[in-house]
Structure 1
Amino acid sequence: MDIGESVIEASGLCRRYRGGFEAVRGVSFAVGRGELFALLGTNGAGKTSAMELLEGLARPSAGTARVLGCDPYTERARVRPSIGMMLQEGGFPADLTVSETARMWAGCISGARPEHEALDLVGLGDRSGVRVRQLSGGERRRLDLALALLGRPEVLFLDEPTTGLDAQGRRDTWSLVRELRDSGTTVLLTTHYLQEAEVLADRLAILHQGRVVACGTPAEVSGARPARIVFGLPQGWHLGDLPSLPELAVLGHEVRDRRVVLHTDRLQHTLTVLLRWAEQRGVPLDRLDARTASLEEAFLAIAADAAGTTTPEGAVR
């Protein structure tokens, strides 16, 4: 994908904490205008630490961060009016109402949209008179998002935006974020929900121990892993009766609970050879399932590769 003008740039970013722990180790990527870019990784991978460098909340130990062409830390006064940030926790006064909280926050922003408009965007319009302490965890996350949107940001940082939301709330948030992206807002988000990244992201990066270990579109990242064909053979038929492995062009195979699993990077070819063999011999393939790798499978395999561990054959080698 040609991302065109880069609105967010990370180049060799490093972040070292007191005591020597390095949470971000040479991270580089760029996010184009109007693009939604997701940072994925297991707990402790460095997602939030990298995000905070790009938000200007901390100075990099090494490398450079740029947002809208500026250093977000040293030129924060120039960058801040154009960005919105949704942190992992907002920490708002518990005794204020939802409306009072939004009004207080809007008072710190030039050209803020009306607070009721921001609350309506996230489905909190009918909760405006409720005190923050009475909100559910999911409602507090929606309030966090509403405040991030008050300034009509050109660039939006979302750190775990749907944590604590129920299924409907998560999908409503996805719909809103898509609308923002489609209207030209550049979005950088972190998430633990791989389906969220698969649904929303134009491109993504997977972090492991502070380094980028994979980057591309969701389809590119998942497509780099083998596809899988799973089926059961009838009584009397065995794995050795199938066409040879070179003929099937499989990368690996196994048997799980009497079901054969084939791993291949030539799904159509392997499936054609298998079905032709079954048709010629009259062999029913029980519960035949053929599919490319999901983003979740790719993520787990990449994480295992990076950690030097293994997952079931065919997913990681």
Structure 2
Amino acid sequence: MSHTAHIRSHRKPRSRTASTIAMRAGVAGGILSTVAVAGASAAANAAEPVTQTLELPTLTADLSAQVAQSAEATQLAAANYQLQAERDAAAAAAAKEAAKDLATAKKAEARKKAAEEARQAAAERASRDSQRTTLAAAADTGSGSVSTSTSTSTSASTATGSAAAVIDFVRAQVGDAYVSGGTGPNSWDCSGLVQAAFRQVGIDLPRVSQDQSTAGTQVSLDNLQPGDILYWGGAGSAYHVAVYVGGGMFVGAQNPSTGVVEKPLSYDPPSGAVRVL
């Protein structure tokens, strides 16, 4: 035991009343309550994150149907555009092919026409050569003298009236071109020239050589008169015609090489003649 334990303290003991103790307790409790509330509030705020809610518009049934219809219409329009494009491309290709076929057909037709004209000209030359050979043989044997007798009997003939008009017309065309199917005024084929000449005097002849060779009265080649129609080939199947102008001469649209010429009968002896005046 301490040596001072038996000595009483000389300090005056503090007097603590109940009210003082209660007041201090109340203050302390209030402080603790405030701290607790603040802590709880801070903890709560820290635990709950702040979020923002966006409200999206709700699609109604009508709006959904409209959207679906719009999508379907767009798809249908795209399909139509594609189909139209394909049709246009096909039409363009077909037009191009048709133009190509037409050009080919025109070239083929031109070649065919040229070949036909060449064949006809060759046939005419061959027939005339044959006629010359026949007449020459006949002259050599004394069995005929068509060219000589004709030239002699008609050398002094003088055309008058309608025959003179026909002869003047054909002589005015000497030097014009020969064109198959030509009917003037600057190009002719043989029957086109003869038809035009007789039209000047009011006589309407057939268009082609075959028919012109039977249009009038058949006359012999040794009794020709100016204005008679000469033909080469058979009557009704003649391939060439011309006009006898007297003096042993004729005028005709011969071929593409010579055009319209005036020549003696000996140049290309005819097969026969018809008289329409």
Same fold (TM over 0.5): no
- Structure 2 length as normaliser, TM-score? 0.19
- Structure 1 length as normaliser, TM-score? 0.17
Which has the larger helix fraction? 2
Which has the larger strand fraction? 1
